[in-house]
Amino acid sequence: MTDSSHQLAAISLGSNLGNSRATLEAALSRLGTAPGVEVVSRSSWYKTAPRGGPQQPDYLNACAVIKVAINPQRLLATLMTIEQEFGRVRSIRWGPRTLDLDIILYADLMLDSPDLIIPHPRMAERAFVLVPLAEIAPDWVEPVSGQTISQLVQKLDISELAEVTRLEQV
């Protein structure tokens, strides 16, 4: 892909420290002000038990579809900057965090570089990513499997998720 203007990307959002809902709402607003990024839609919020890592509070998770006029590496840098602005400290793998933003999909791009893999390598295993994403982009085809997000969700045990609040999409 040589032209990165006006591509759709999907990101996941998560938080389990502080006022997670306020943090995620503010992070989405901040993302919408980033150069080359427009938030198109956002899923409901989902409460999720943590997986792996130390004992910690439940997460609040969501996904968003964004329109981007920046390349994936610039998007990653933007997301990492926003995480830092909201106090993200990377000290414990799978540990608690104020904010976690991940690129899940970027158009139909398949990328494997030292700092970024798209599609996200563990997205198909994670109900807290696929269920919210299926809510806003059920027909998006994941390029590695060739399956839609709704098809991938059907393969998961989603009992770990509890929908917290259904809010209107952005």
Q: Which residues are catalytic?
A: 88, 97, 100, 102
Alpha-carbon span 122 to 32, nearest angstrom: 26
Taking phi first (over 0 means left), then psi (-120 to 50 degrees means alpha), and beta for anything else, what does residue 130 get? alpha
Helices (H) and strands (E) in the chain, counts: 4, 10
CA distance from start to end of the chain? 28
Q: Which of 7, 6, 26, 5 is nearest to 15 (CA)?
A: 26
Among 127, 121, 26, 39, residue whose Cα is nearest residue 75: 39
